[in-house]
Amino acid sequence: GNSVTQMEGPVTLSEEAFLTINCTYTATGYPSLFWYVQYPGEGLQLLLKATKADDKGSNKGFEATYRKETTSFHLEKGSVQVSDSAVYFCALSDSTGGFKTIFGAGTRLFVKA
C-alpha cells in the first residue's frame, strides 16, 4: 500500500540557516504530493504541492521537487525565520488510495533567533 516516510525531528536551526526536511514515499499509482504545515494550536494547512514527476511546488520561500526516480519530495528553504517554527507533514494522495490522504509522522522545526 501507499506510505510516506519523513525524517524524525525535532530539527533545531538558527535564523537564516538552510532547511531540508527529507520525505520519501511508496505508491502503486501516480500520486500527488503535498507538504502541510501546522502552527501551534492550529489545524494543518497546505504549504505546497506537486502533481507529477519533476514538478516543483513552491510557496513562502519553501520548495519541493517531485522526484519519481528516487521517490522523494524533500522540503527546502534557503533562509528560515523564527516564524517558520511549526510541524511539517509530507503527504500523498492518488486514485488508488480511494479518497484518502496518507500523511507522514510530521517533523517539528524550531528556529532560534
Partner 1 sequence: NAGVTQTPKFQVLKTGQSMTLQCAQDMNHNSMYWYRQDPGMGLRLIYYSASEGTTDKGEVPNGYNVSRLNKREFSLRLESAAPSQTSVYFCASTALSYEQYFGPGTRLTVT
User: Which residues would be at the binding site for partner 1 (CB under 8 A)?
Assistant: 32, 34, 36, 42-46, 49, 51, 89, 91, 93-94, 98-101, 103-106
Identity of the residue, 92 or 111, whose beta carbon is nearer to partner 1 in the bound complex: 92
CA-CA distances (angstroms) from residue 43 to 47, 88, 112? Answer: 12, 12, 23
Q: Could you identify the residue written with the cell 494547512?
A: 45
DSSP SS3 for 42: coil
Identity of the residue, 18 or 56, whose beta carbon is nearer to partner 1 in the bound complex: 56
Least distance from C-beta 32 to partner 1, angstroms? 5
Least distance from C-beta 19 to partner 1, angstroms? 20
Contact predicate 71/58, CB 8 Å:
no
Least distance from C-beta 111 to partner 1, angstroms? 21
Contact predicate 60/86, CB 8 Å:
no
CA 16/CA 18 separation, integer angstroms: 7
Least distance from C-beta 80 to partner 1, angstroms? 22
Identity of the residue, 2 or 17, whose beta carbon is nearer to partner 1 in the bound complex: 2
